[in-house]
Structure 1
Amino acid sequence: MSDDLHREVLRTQGTLTSCFGYDALGRKSWQFASRLPAEKLSRIHNPGIQPDLLVKHAYNPIHRRHQYDQAGELTRTLDKMRGEIKYEYEANGQLHSRDTGQLVDSEEFRCDAAANRLNFNTSQFDHVKDNRLKRWRDQEYAYDAWGNLIEKRSGMGKLQTFRYDCENRLVRAETLVHGKLESTGSYRYDSLGRWVAKVSEVKGRTEQKHFLWQGLRMLREESPGRSSLYLYEPGSYAPLARVDQEEGGEQQLYYF
Structure 2
Amino acid sequence: AHTYDELGNRVSTTISGERTIDWLHYGSGHVHQIRVDGAAVADMERDDLHREVLRTQGKLTSRFGYDAVGRRARHAAQRGHAADDLLAKQWQYDAAGDVIQKRDQRYGTTNYQYDPTGRIEQAAGPGLPSEVFRWDAAANLVSSDHPGGYVEHNRLKMFEDKRFEYDVYGRLVRKVSGHGPAKELILEYDDWNQLKTVVTKDRLGISTTHFEYDAFGRRIRKLNGSYASTDFLWDGMRLVQETYHDRQGEEALTYLYEANSYVPLARIDQGKPAANDADARDAVYYFHNDVSGLPEELTDAGGDLVWQARYKVWGNAVQEEWVAR
User: How many Å apart are 1:151 and its aligned residue?
Assistant: 1.1
For residues 87 and 212 of structure 1, do their structure 2 counterparts lie closer, same or farther at Cα, with a shift above 3 Å needed? closer
Checking the alignment, whether the CA contact within 8 Å between 1:9 and 1:21 is kept in structure 2 is no
Retained in 2: the 8 A contact 1:86–1:98? yes
Q: How does 1:28-39 map to 2 (within 5 A)?
A: 28-34=72-78, 36-37=79-80
2:283 aligns with 252
Amino acid of the structure 1 residue aligned with 2:282? Q
In structure 1, stretches of 5+ residues that fail to align are: 41-53
Query: Does the residue aligned with 1:130 lie in a helix, a strand or coil?
Result: helix
Give the corresponding residue for 1:221.
242
**Alignment CA distance shift 1:95-1:237 (3 Å):** closer
Match of 2:154 among 131, 144, 162: 131
8 Å Cα contact 1:11-1:254 kept in structure 2: no
Question: Following TM superposition, by how much is the alpha carbon of 1:139 offset from its aligned partner in structure 2, in angstroms?
Answer: 0.7
Query: In structure 1, which of residues 164, 189, 197 is the aligned counterpart of residue 221 of structure 2?
Result: 197
Equivalent in the alignment of 1:209 = 230
Structure with more relative contact order (C-alpha pairs < 8 Å, separation 6 or more): 1
Where in structure 2 are the equivalents of 1:224-243 lying within 5 Å?
Answer: 224=245, 225-229=250-254, 242-243=267-268
Q: Which amino acid aligns with 1:250?
A: R
1:87 counterpart SS class = strand
Q: Output aligned runs, 1:49-88, within 5 Å.
A: 58-60=84-86, 62-88=87-113
Relative to its length, the structure with more strand (as a share) is 2
TM-score (norm 2): 0.58
Q: Give the whole-Å Cα distance in 1 for the aligned partners of 2:202 and 2:191.
A: 28
Contact 2:272–2:282 (8 Å) recurs in 1: no
Q: CA RMSD in A?
A: 3.6
Question: In 1, are the aligned partners of 2:108 and 2:126 still within 8 Å (CA)?
Answer: no
Identity %: 33
- Correspondent of 2:69 among 25, 38, 46: 25
1:210/1:19 CA distance change after superposition, 3 Å: farther
In 2, the alpha carbon distance for the partners of 1:19 and 1:200 equals: 41
Contact 2:164 2:175 in 1 (8 A): yes
Equivalent AA in structure 1 for residue 92 of structure 2? Q
Q: Do 1:116 and 1:127's aligned partners in 2 also have CA atoms closer than 8 Å?
A: no
Task: Tell me the CA shift for residue 180 of structure 1.
Answer: 2.7
